[in-house]
Amino acid sequence: MNRRDLLKASLLGVAAPAFGQAPPASSGLGCGDCFAKEIALAMPAAPRLKVTGVKTFGVTSDALPRDRPHVFVKIETDAGVVGWGEATLEGKAGAALQAVHDLSYAVIGQDPMHVEHHWQSMYIHAFYRSGPVLGSAISGIDQALWDIRGKVLGRPVYELLGGPIDERGVRGYYHLRPVLPANAPYREQVAAIRERAEKFGVTAFKTGIPGYYEWIDTHQRIKEAIDQLHVLREVMGDAIDIAVDFHAKTSPAVALQICREVESLNLMFVEEPCPPENVQAMKRISDRTTVPIATGERLITPYGCRELIEGKVVDILQVDVNHVGGVSALWKVAAMAESSGIVMAPHACEGPVGAVASTHVDAAMPNFLVQEICSGVEPDAKDALWQELLGYPAMRMVDGYYPLPTKPGLGIEVDERALARHPFGGTKPFVLLPVHEDGSIASP
């Protein structure tokens, strides 16, 4: 028996107990002619419990950005234990909802405890690997499986990952959102935000840069961005960390000019100083400035992060638990980054289920820096919606930290009656669809 036969025999051994009959042998003639396709789904060890259903919930509300109806995943089991996950995908809600159903074959009838096995099945058996739609669907299912795993074992997910490292919870940052009327001068807005930050113990914020940029841009636009950041540091003071999201609006040429002229501000990081597809372009920026460079919210699966880590292109990775592949993949990316001295600041600008899932993984990362949430220092309508859905003020910091849930699994309970009050209203495009003054497409 050669090695191929050995492999075949091992697979046959898996198949027989699960399906009651030997699978058809491969002819070996056709491309992709492989009997392993269905066999690998079967794990014959006596399951603790079985997945009986995968349900999805789309949530549309005026309290949310129009491109971001929340996509929640509920996995049900024959033991009555249910798990919740999130597959929200900005601007592609309908596709994400459908993709979760497309992948449900991988877990229905299976033991939900085998989360790594199911992750591999969803990713590898999909044939066309990766991409944000598949990544988000895997993420939602993976989070729900981890929720079930924790509930069955009676422990919070972060404990199954060896955490928490910091008993206070997970350090976070808010976005710089106006707290005064919109027409208030910039300095006054920042001063008011700083006042509230000091009151609530918030230690970090993220802001953007004004307007939209062409690949080479004018003195006026570049100076406006630089001046605004200097004002921000001056008014915010030296004790609060400031991150700046370029949001991939800039080219390396433009981003570098801005980065070099804000180095003295000791920013926490500059995020997406250019679009993420070209790793060498990102490296060109990070090689030429002392500002820590962050990216990653659009990266899918650990494979999508490898080149950035291998080349030590960035200082901070910001993968998103709702896109990268859930709890399993976020943990792996953090492990990959740790060996290269890269720290983690996971992205979270979708719904509360994924955000809470992210904090569980954060809590077990030795190389954790800070967790994002797309909220302001003052709670708004979205925070009220999240409280309605989860029954508590989810992802609101206490003294600069998101408190960790203490109940098993993800430690949250989603109110399905509340979900029903905000039915899915269809897919909507990104909030902004900007163009330059000459009508050409600008990056939002």
Partner 1 sequence: MKITRVTPRAVAEPGGLTYLVVRVDTDEGVSGYAETTAGPAPQVTVDQLKRELSTLVGANPFRAVQIDEALKSVQASLAARAAANVACLDILGKATRASVYEILGGPTRHKVRAMAVLGDASEDMLRASVLAAKQEGFRAFSVPLTMPSGKERGRRFYTGIRSTLDGLRGAAGEECDFVLDCAGRTSPGEALSIADRLAGFHLLWMDEPCGELSATAQASLAKGSAMPTGYGRGFTDVARFQDLLREDAVDVLRPALATHGLTAVRKAAAIAETYYVAVAPFHRGGPIGTAAGVHVCAALPNSFVQERPFSTNSANRQFRAAISGWDEKPSDGFFPLTGRPGLGLAVDEHVLDAHTVAR
- Site for partner 1, residues 148 to 177, rule: CB under 8 A: 149, 153-155, 159-165
Applying CB under 8 A, which of residues 68, 70, 114, 194 lies at the interface with partner 1? 114
CA distance 87 to 94: 11
CB 211 within 8 A of CB 221: yes
- CB-nearer residue toward partner 1: 149 or 422: 149
**Residue among 74, 71, 65, 20 nearest 414 (CA):** 74
Amino acid at 76: E
305 near partner 1 (CB under 8 A): yes
CA gap 309, 173 in Å, rounded? 24
Residue with tokens 């929200």: 88
Tell me the window of 125-133, 327-335, 349-357, 375-383 that interacts with partner 1 (CB under 8 A): 327-335
Query: In this complex, which beta carbon is closest to partner 1, that of residue 259 or of residue 365?
Result: 365
Give CA–CA dist 297/349, Å, rounded.
10
Name the pairing type of β-strands 70-77 and 51-59. Answer: antiparallel
* Residue in the structure block whose two tokens are 């802001």: 207
125 binds partner 1 (CB under 8 A): no
Could you say which of 98, 340, 387, 443 contacts partner 1 (CB under 8 A)?
A: 340
Q: How far is the CB of 376 from partner 1 (least distance, A)?
A: 32
**Smallest distance, Å, CB 431 to partner 1?**
33
- Residue 131 binding partner 1, by CB under 8 A: no
Q: Binding of partner 1 at residue 108 (CB under 8 A)?
A: no
Residue 385 within binding range of partner 1, rule CB under 8 A = no
By the rule CB under 8 A, 22 interacts with partner 1: no
Q: Rank residues 36 and 192 by Cβ distance to partner 1 and give the closer one.
A: 36
CB nearer to partner 1: give 123 or 269. Answer: 123
Q: Which is nearer to partner 1, 147 or 245 (CB)?
A: 147
253-292 positions binding partner 1, by CB under 8 A: none
Task: Kindly name the residue from 247, 323, 360, 422 that is annotated as catalytic.
Answer: 247
Is 302 one of the binding residues for partner 1 (CB under 8 A)?
Answer: yes
63 binds partner 1, rule: CB under 8 A:
no
Task: For residues 355 and 393, give the distance between their C-alpha atoms in angstroms, rounded to a whole number.
Answer: 12
Task: Say whether 247 is catalytic.
Answer: yes
Cα dihedral sign, 332-336-338-341: negative
| Catalytic residue (one of 118, 323, 347, 360) | 347
Q: Give bridge partners of residue 54 from the DSSP assignment.
A: 75
Per-residue binder mask for partner 1 (CB under 8 A), 352-381, x = binder: ------------x-x---------------
Task: Tell me how crowded residue 46 is: count the other CB atoms within 10 A of its CB.
Answer: 6
Contact 72, 418 (CB under 8 A): no
Instruction: Verify binding: residue 415, partner 1, rule CB under 8 A.
Output: no
Q: Is 16 exposed, middle or buried (0-12, 13-18, 19+ CB in 10 A)?
A: middle
Classify residue 321 as left (phi > 0), alpha (psi -120 to 50) or beta: alpha
- Mapped onto helix, strand or coil, the DSSP state of residue 221 is helix
Give the amino acid at 352: P
Size of the site for partner 1 (CB under 8 A): 44
Burial 281-311 (b: 16+ CB within 10 A, else e): bbbbbbeebebbbbbbbbbbbbebbeebbee
Contact status: 100 vs partner 1 (CB under 8 A) = no
The answer to whether 117 is a known catalytic residue is: no
Closer residue to partner 1 (CB): 97 or 365: 365
| Residues binding partner 1 (CB under 8 A) | 1-3, 5-6, 10, 14, 43-46, 113-117, 119-120, 149, 153-155, 159-165, 302-303, 305-306, 310, 328, 331-332, 335-336, 338-340, 364, 366
Residues marked active site are found at 247, 347
